[in-house]
Copies of this chain bind each other. A is one copy, B any other.
């Protein structure tokens, strides 16, 4: 069985929620998938406002939220508290350089296991987490 493309996942989500499959929604998803790793909603708004088929700011906000509810994107908060979106792939956490803003993604199994153990000791059932480490990247630390 072939793994569903993000596109197909989104269509399946829209169907399951009784939402219409509109060109606006699909074009916004396309633009999201065309972004570099981390993007802001204004990046999408700017693109859609001067695209061949113009799409309004309100619709971009609405569709981004729909895509987020579908579990296909999520956001973290930058140093300046801006929402920084990314496509959801494998779970990972973030290191963020306070100097240049660089975002490093990382994943560590021991860390995840330890987190689960700590939760258990508190009678807490973990569902998801975010961890952001702020500091200086290789380039900026010297």
Contact = CB atoms under 8 A, between A and B. Distances in A.
A128 interface: yes
- Counting contact residues on chain A (CB < 8 A from B), the size range is 20 to 34
B106 A114 contact: no
Interface stretch (A17-25, A45-53, A62-70, A116-124): A116-124
How many copies make up the complex? Answer: 2
A130 B128 contact: no
B132 A129 contact: yes
Q: Classify the secondary structure of A's interface with B.
A: strand
Contacts of A126: 95, 133-135
Interface in A103-117: 104, 106, 108, 110-111, 114-115
Interface of A: 77, 95, 97-98, 104, 106, 108, 110-111, 114-115, 118-119, 122-138, 141
